[in-house]
A and B are shown apart, each in its own frame.
Chain A
Amino acid sequence: MSQTITIDPVTRLEGHGKITLKTNEQGEVSEAYFTVTQVRGFEKFSEGRPYYEMPSLMARICGICPVSHLIASAKACEAIMSVEIPTTAAKLRSALNMAQSIQSHALSFFYLSSPDLLLGMDADPVDRNIFGVAQKNPELGRAGVGLRRFGQHIIELLGRKRIHPGWVVPGGVTEPLSAVKRDEILALLPEAYANIELALKWYKEIADRFAEEAAHFANFPGAFLGMVGEDDGLEFTDGKLRLIDATGAILEDKLDAAHFDDVIGEAVEPFSYMKFPYYKPLGYPDGAYRVGPLARLNIASHAGTPLADTELKEFKKLANGPVLGSFYFHHARLIDILYGIEKIEQIFSDSTILDTHVRATAGVNRLEGAGIAEAPRGTLMHHYKVNENGQITWANLVIATGQNNNAMNRGVLQAAQQYVKGDKLEQGMLNRVEAVIRTFDPCLSCSTHAFGQMPLSISLVAPDGTLLHELRRG
């Protein structure tokens, strides 16, 4: 008998979503849908606002990665202004972006995913959270708290606020860095290095236990998109985009923000408010691709910092070509963190970082502009059109999680087909399906948060709508 299984909402994500699984007459999962149940209205209600308000306005989309929105938005505004920002401002923004990636990745890896990795996918959900981590491996828990604090503290030092700093503006940043703040940041580095070293060592020790999950968690051939620097190394803020296929062949290279939507389209599916970006030459859905830590490591030839270079070389040995299994997002996230710490050290060790010229000024010189940055979860694009008064007439955002939408849906189907059997639902089964989504660290909170805790339910529904079985927690 065919059935429908619903996981609503999915837990330990940023935001709210649900998973629906449909089984065929043989009881095998035949279809899977990851549904984002919230509407994002930022593109619409920003119409009429002055372009220079956009960075601060659009950063309110999310409290986890407001910095990426600030930067992508400011860059779109700078395209409208036709200005090049001062070099020191670009370096400071880059440091801010890395700090955000570190704190966001720490949240994802240590708070949301490490409970699965440390305690096991079949562990009691009561224990499978940060409290369980604190009790079983406090050293790992402290490393996570420490790395998140490290990133947040740098954001606060630079932007005056941990969340929604207003420091990044069209043209640069509002104020230069002081020597006192620089020295404070540099003093934080030894502990950060120790924490990420501990985490990487621990992850490598336990990763082999999850070989089966690695084989079935969104592990399939597909394309990868991300930013690289001029030297083909990792870059989060001021590079250009590269798209590769599953063999590693380059499909697009040196793609800039202005030409992003020449090659990237957005499809819509009736079951979700989240869009489905795709590579136009391959069409939808064949042109679906992945972004984020895994994509960044797959497209870059090297990291560009000593310790991350070593880790990236080791990472690339996992596959003969791009690493296709999405379970390895976890590993890639840790390498991102290491790279970020090294990058921050490089930036704040640069004697020009205290330069006081950190903002360029101009008015409206073009009626359209786009900006790109690498958010923790992947490539983020802001695209605006303005009238001659500089008021927004049209805005479009292509967010990282959306670009992983197709892969998440495919991944849920793959994992469900592997783990969901028969008509009896088990917590471990349910958690593995959720855990596929967590590997992507999706941020669904682009417009709103609901109050209260997020319960989780999974239901089996017969073709006639009869509820056959339900599990609920929370």
Chain B
Amino acid sequence: MNTVPGCESKPADLPPIRRLVIACGNTLRGDDGVAWHIAAQLDQVAAQTGDEIVVTQQFLPEHAEQISLADVVVFIDCSALTTAGCISSLSIDPAEQLPRILTHHLDPAALLRLALDLYGQIPLRRTLITVGGESFAMTEELSAAVRNAIPAATLAVQAALS
């Protein structure tokens, strides 16, 4: 992972590590909502761990402030590019190239850039976990491949948080 200005390690005597999960997707569009299902699994233990779980249909500029306050952030999203059920974990840095037109779409790297520019700091550890999807039809049901990937994806998120 590259070190970027604004995300230096904290001294050991500071408060406990703040962990943030941002799960993004549309539960009405089949596999696109898988992040919400993973977040629901994480929610069951978040009360004990104190982790902050945010579920959202889109990454929004308003998330930048929450991100800036965290020490560890994990973004969860569905990927239309990888094989259905395939879990990918990627360390991400703030975007250098920003969208030419900002309308209704932000990605985690752009959001990190926004957090850094607005608030001057971003988490030391930043991970994007994706689950490959295959069905984005108008349904609240996940495909079997994606549904079966949820336990492993949940573990991947927990590993990224730990």
User: Chain A residues in contact with chain B, CB under 8 A?
Assistant: 11-12, 111, 125-126, 129-131, 134-135, 138, 141-142, 145-146, 148-149, 152, 449, 452-456, 473-474
User: Chain B residues in contact with chain A, CB under 8 A?
Assistant: 61-62, 64-65, 98-105, 110, 113-114, 117-120
A129 and B101 contacting across the interface, CB-CB below 8 Å: yes
A-B pairs, top 4 by smallest CB distance, nearest first, are: A134-B117, A129-B102, A474-B101, A131-B98
A11 and B101 contacting across the interface, CB-CB below 8 Å: yes
Complex Cα gap A142–B101 (Å): 20
Beta-carbon nearest neighbor of A126 in chain B: B100
If A111-B61, A145-B61, A152-B62 touch, does A135 touch B100 (CB 8 Å cutoff)? no
CB contact between A474 and one of B65, B98, B100, B113 (< 8 Å): that residue: B100
CB distance from A192 to the nearest CB of B (A): 14
B117 and A138 contacting across the interface, CB-CB below 8 Å: yes
CB distance from A430 to the nearest CB of B (A): 13
Complex Cα gap A145–B120 (Å): 15
B114 and A134 contacting across the interface, CB-CB below 8 Å: yes
CB distance from A11 to the nearest CB of B (A): 6
Complex Cα gap A190–B104 (Å): 30
| Interfacial chain B residues near A138, Cβ < 8 Å | 117-120
Complex Cα gap A325–B119 (Å): 35
| Interfacial chain B residues near A134, Cβ < 8 Å | 114, 117-118
A131 and B101 contacting across the interface, CB-CB below 8 Å: no
CB distance from B78 to the nearest CB of A (A): 14
Complex Cα gap A162–B114 (Å): 22
| Interfacial chain A residues near B102, Cβ < 8 Å | 12, 111, 129-131
CB contact between A453 and one of B99, B117, B118, B119 (< 8 Å): that residue: B99
A-B contact pairs, 28 of them (CB 8 A): A125-B100, A126-B98, A126-B100, A129-B101, A131-B98, A131-B110, A131-B113, A131-B114, A135-B117, A138-B117, A138-B119, A141-B117, A142-B65, A142-B118, A145-B118, A148-B61, A148-B62, A149-B62, A149-B65, A152-B62, A452-B105, A453-B101, A453-B104, A455-B101, A473-B100, A473-B101, A474-B100, A474-B101
| Interfacial chain B residues near A146, Cβ < 8 Å | 65
Complex Cα gap A216–B46 (Å): 55
Beta-carbon nearest neighbor of A131 in chain B: B98
A454 and B117 contacting across the interface, CB-CB below 8 Å: no
Complex Cα gap A142–B61 (Å): 10
Task: Pick from A125, A134, A474 the residue with the most CB of B within 10 Å.
Answer: A134
| Interfacial chain A residues near B104, Cβ < 8 Å | 449, 453
Beta-carbon nearest neighbor of A125 in chain B: B100
B65 and A145 contacting across the interface, CB-CB below 8 Å: yes
CB contact between B101 and one of A111, A145, A449, A456 (< 8 Å): that residue: A456
Complex Cα gap A141–B62 (Å): 10
| Interfacial chain B residues near A456, Cβ < 8 Å | 101
Complex Cα gap A455–B101 (Å): 8
Beta-carbon nearest neighbor of B136 in chain A: A451
CB distance from A118 to the nearest CB of B (A): 13
CB distance from B19 to the nearest CB of A (A): 20
Beta-carbon nearest neighbor of A9 in chain B: B103
Complex Cα gap A452–B101 (Å): 11
Complex Cα gap A145–B106 (Å): 15
If A131-B110, A149-B62 touch, does A11 touch B98 (CB 8 Å cutoff)? no
Complex Cα gap A332–B105 (Å): 28
| Interfacial chain A residues near B64, Cβ < 8 Å | 145
CB distance from B150 to the nearest CB of A (A): 24
Complex Cα gap A291–B93 (Å): 44
B62 and A131 contacting across the interface, CB-CB below 8 Å: no
A130 and B114 contacting across the interface, CB-CB below 8 Å: yes
B103 and A11 contacting across the interface, CB-CB below 8 Å: yes
CB distance from B162 to the nearest CB of A (A): 29
B118 and A141 contacting across the interface, CB-CB below 8 Å: yes
| Interfacial chain A residues near B99, Cβ < 8 Å | 129, 131, 453
If A145-B61, A145-B64, A149-B65 touch, does A131 touch B100 (CB 8 Å cutoff)? no
